[in-house]
């Protein structure tokens, strides 16, 4: 029987130097994924994407979110009610004088965004994710 990692494509952890990441990523992707930046709201290409498929980590290709869990939160960033099991790590984030929960790719450690408890039922979760941290594979 296949493991969930084999079924959905989760692979082994990826470790690279910051210089290697700079060569692999665009300037904006590096700023968001490696420097924990945030893109301007309503600026990302995947914000209005309505196609069926899987959103992946732009740095390593790790499958993160299914399109059927995406919703329009009106915040200016793609929002999801849940992540693919095992695809993300949640960590406390006390930056900018706030208490938040950071969402990172479980494979490469890239910063994706934050998760909040103001999403729709039943999960009440809103994974607020930067477009620059995502790629999309149409299904």
Contact 81, 123 (CB under 8 A): yes
Class for the domain spanning 15-138: mainly beta
- Residue ranges per structural domain of the chain: 15-138
* Active-site option among 105, 108, 128, 131: 128
Taking the model in full, what pTM does it have? 0.90
Residue 7 burial class via C-beta count within 10 angstroms: exposed 0-12, middle 13-18, buried 19 and up: exposed
- Asked whether the bond before 122 is cis by omega within 30 degrees of 0, the reply is yes
**Whether residue 131 lies in the annotated active site:** no
Q: pLDDT tens, 52-109?
A: 999 999 999 999 999 999 999 999 999 999 999 999 999 999 998 999 999 999 999 9
């Amino acid at each position: 029987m296949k493991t969930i990692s084999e079924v959905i494509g989760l692979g082994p952890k990826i470790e690279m130097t910051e210089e290697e990441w700079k060569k692999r990523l665009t300037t904006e992707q590096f700023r968001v994924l490696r420097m924990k930046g945030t893109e301007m709201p309503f600026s990302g290409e995947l914000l209005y994407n309505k196609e069926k498929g899987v959103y992946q980590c732009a740095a390593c290709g790790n499958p993160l979110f299914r399109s059927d869990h995406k919703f329009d939160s009106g915040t200016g960033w793609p929002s999801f009610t849940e992540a693919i099991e095992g695809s993300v790590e949640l960590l406390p984030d006390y930056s900018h004088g706030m208490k938040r929960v950071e969402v990172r790719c479980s494979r490469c450690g890239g910063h994706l965004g934050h998760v909040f408890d103001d999403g729709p039922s039943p999960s009440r979760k809103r994974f607020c994710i930067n477009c620059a941290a995502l790629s999309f594979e149409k299904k």
